[in-house]
Amino acid sequence: MASAISKIRRLLRAARVLGHHGVLPPPEWAAMAPPEARFLGLIFRKRKANMHGRTGERLARALTDLGPAYIKAGQFLATRPDIIGSEIARDLSELQDRMPPFPRVEAERILREELDPAQIARLGNIGEAVAAASIAQVHKVTLKAAKEGDPPQYRALKILRPGVDIEFARELEAHAWAARMAERTGGDMRRMKPTALVDTLARSVAIEMDLRLEAAAAAELAANTARDDDFRVPIVDWDFTTRRVLATEWMDATPLKDIDALRAQGHDLKRLATSVIQNFLKHALRDGFFHADMHPGNLFVDSQGRLVAVDFGIMGRLDAISRRFMAETLAGFLARDYRRVADIHLQIGFVPPRHHVDDFAQALRAIGEPIFGRPASNMSMARLLTQLFEVTRLFDMEMQPQLVMLQKTMVVVEGVARQLDPEHSIWESARPVVEQWMIDSIGPQARIKEASEGLSTLGRAIAAFPEVLRNAEQIAAQLSTGGIKLHPDSTQAIAEAEVRRTAHVRWAIWIGAAALAAIAIAQF
């Protein structure tokens, strides 16, 4: 009972704040909102002072007032325009996760709890927080020199807020309870699957609550970009990294948002704008792993002009199929070859084959021509991707979360590039990256590599061929004397083994099947 009362109290507080901003429910969702939400909207009436701006802007302000868990929920919803609509998603994507810092003495207490005495002894002075968000904040710390005369070393320590895991758990429990109640109303609310959305959000937050996982993401991105001469990732110091503490090298770099300082230091802003776009696309297309929170506060420039990224709590992944889809889609739009773009949608299976390729290409032309008819500085890749996903829904393309994450990040990255260079041509920056990916991944050299891998697989299959034939003869003999009888457990084991088989073993199975068929025909 006490737990239910606590959830209701939390939800009523949220309803009051949302109602005062006129978004309980947002007008665009009124038809699908459960009756309870509409009733609470009448009780907690909107306040005139809060009613300026678009629905998405008012919703973003309300979520900010509600605190960290709701800010995270808003950032998550920004990746689902298929559910909340593109305009509201765009406004929520600008939610900033900033909070007042907690006291330094609390940070020192957490360090004493997380690190052993030998590690604590290596830490020198800990400065005040240099950045603070809903889940953690960052401090600069000096490491004590191993011997006299050694140059000083500095670390950036990201430390979880005290009790943040408990607070988030309580809020998410209330969200989950409300989602279950909403689904019981049926109709559109059940179709939106709010419980699944809350579950996904809870998993995402759980990952952010373990800073060892963020450290792993930073290390992976660093390994992927080790040979890139215009991009840097701070090195993780695993000696001081735990579940609640992430330690990296301290980067002496200039914030990318400090345009005046960058200009005063002689940095080429046009080159930096190109670097932002090209590095993001290289990470997404070449590596399939990209920083999905590339706002100006997370980007810096070092003394050598290299882009430096920090804060790896939100990362995106693209599998091989999604990378090919994105590269060929962008290449097709660059060439204004709309049929090619339509073809890749159907080939990969994102759009069902019942739709005619020419009809789809016509719809794509309606997206591309207005964008490519603009001056280069006004051509937006993010706008194109947003409209692409809106149109593809008309052709029954299911929303691909990994692509939406990429599109959402593209919006932010474009904004960063345009702050550095208002006349920047996003498409001209993207072109060499897309073209290089096409050469590396589906060009002649890639085909030769695929062929060599195929020959290696075939060679292993041929080497196993005599044993396969012997097995086939034994199976044929059993078939001729009443068939093969398998225990159900054996059938299950075979099925599970089949899932685990490598490619060359599957080749052997198919060859064996062919041999078995030949023997059976001969006996017949």
Catalytic residues: 293
Distance CA 377, CA 386 (A): 18
Tell me the CA distances in angstroms from 183 to 169, 180, 267, one per residue in order.
21, 5, 54
Cα distances from 339 to residues 254, 326, 335, 387, in angstroms, run: 45, 15, 11, 17
Give the DSSP letter of residue 305.
S
Q: Are 129 and 107 in contact (CB under 8 A)?
A: yes
How far is the first Cα of the chain from the last one, in angstroms, to the nearest whole number? 74
The answer to whether the CB of 81 falls within 8 A of the CB of 89 is yes
Q: 360-385: buried (b, 16+ CB within 10 Å) or exposed (e) per residue?
A: bbebbeebbeebeeeeeeebbbbbbb
Which value, to the nearest 10 degrees, does the dihedral of the CA atoms of residues 519, 521, 523, 524 take?
A: 160
Measured between alpha carbons, how far is residue 434 from residues 69, 508, 514, 522 in Å? 37, 38, 42, 54
d(CA 418, CA 510): 55
Retrieve residue 466's tokens. 């005599």
Assess contact for 457 and 503: CB atoms under 8 A.
Answer: yes
Instruction: Look at the alpha carbons of 444, 445, 450, 451 in this order and tell me if their dihedral is positive or negative.
Output: positive
Within 152-297, residue ranges assigned H as helices are: 164-183, 187-192, 194-208, 211-224, 259-264, 269-281
